[in-house]
Amino acid sequence: MKEWQGKRYWLVGASEGLGRAVAHRLSRVGAEVIVSARSEDRLKELVAELPGKASYIKVDVTDRAAVEAAAKEAGELDGVVYLAGVYWPMKASAWDNEKADLMGEINYLGASRVVGAVIGDMIKRDRGHIVLTGSLSGFRGLPGAIGYSASKAGVMALAESMQADLHRSNIQVQVINPGFIKTRLTEKNDFTMPFIMSPDDAAREVFEHMNGDSFKKSFPMIFSWVFRLSQFMPDWLYYRLFGAR
């Protein structure tokens, strides 16, 4: 169990859904929360809702200079949680370059820009906590997930590379890989979403992970086994089971 009282955490992608729920969790245990997203109105509303010390910094993670300026404004941090993400269902036969680019820009490159803006100070102090958001869809390519699966796989590999470099330091790296969460993003899906979670339930899973020392958490647990075990399937079996019908 970590001591959260007075710790300063920057949450990027906190205006809606899971990010908003995680901000409430951290604020309730005494952490000072700095929240960021593109919607200033929603950030103001969130800061007003939070029970503890809180502030906001509007930022567009597709703009590296803006990310670096926001990190400088946030100041010395104990931790950063990257929760920003966009999603559109997309098949290879209906490729949309604009949307595919945005999923890469926000889901993966945004995470890289935020980490790059804070990691130098954490290394200098030999102290910090970085949490990135992957997805169960990042374990292996899925039908109708052009852009999204690839961007989340990139985040997961980024976290793994950081862990490989930093596991002997006092900088803790963690990655969360959620399944379906009931948000504006999943409302775009026209298929049944097994084990779909509310943002509050998912935030509880995230906070429990942040409270511990382990590197990776994939949830819901039973649903995550399907994706983790799929990595060991031969291609012919995997695409027969999971490929488009």
Q: Which two tokens stand for residue 134?
A: 């992957």
Select which of 82, 148, 238, 239 is catalytic: 148
Contacts of 35 (CB under 8 A, 6+ apart): 11, 14, 15, 19, 23, 43, 46, 47, 54, 55, 56, 57
Nearest to 50 by CA among 32, 27, 22: 27
Nearest to 106 by CA among 40, 155, 61, 137: 61
- Whether residue 148 lies in the annotated active site: yes
C-alpha distances in angstroms, 217 versus 136, 155, 213, 214?
Answer: 10, 14, 11, 8
Peptide bond into 234 cis (omega under 30): no
C-alpha distances in angstroms, 126 versus 114, 121, 165, 167, 237?
Answer: 18, 8, 13, 12, 46
Which amino acid is it at 61? Answer: V
| Residues known to be catalytic | 148
